[in-house]
Amino acid sequence: MPKQHTADRLAADLVEWAERRSTELAEAILGSPLAPQVTTPTKAEALAYYQRMMWLPDGTPNQPGRDQLLARVGVDGFEKIALELAKGGP
């Protein structure tokens, strides 16, 4: 095994410490009241969100939002959302 330089050993120790400490902190946060809370939006809230993703306030298409939505939910999901919005949404 080749001899390690002091700087290499120090760098390896720092990496190990940073990984161990970040894991300890994440576990402490997730087990506390500060943990992120997940909530399910109502249908009206979801449709209002998707409305903003699909259309700008002036009524023109929001192409960047549509592209992002399409990439996230795929063609089938995009079609379902568009159909729900066409039904009258929020």
Q: What is the pTM of this model?
A: 0.55
Same-domain status, 32 and 48: no
Instruction: Note whether 24 and 48 are same-domain residues.
Output: no
Note whether 55 and 30 are same-domain residues.
Answer: no
**pLDDT band, very low/low/confident/very high, at 90 (cuts 50, 70, 90):** very low
**Residue 48 sits in the same domain as residue 32:** no
Domain that holds residue 73: 43-86
Whether residues 33 and 47 fall in one domain: no
Residues 47 and 69 in one domain: yes
Average pLDDT over residues 42-49: 92
Number of domains in the chain: 2
For 56-73, the pLDDT digits (tens) are 999 999 999 999 999 999
55 and 78: one domain?
A: yes
pLDDT attached to residue 55:
93
Distance of CA 47 to the CA centre of its chain: 18
Q: Which whole number is the average pLDDT over 31-38?
A: 76
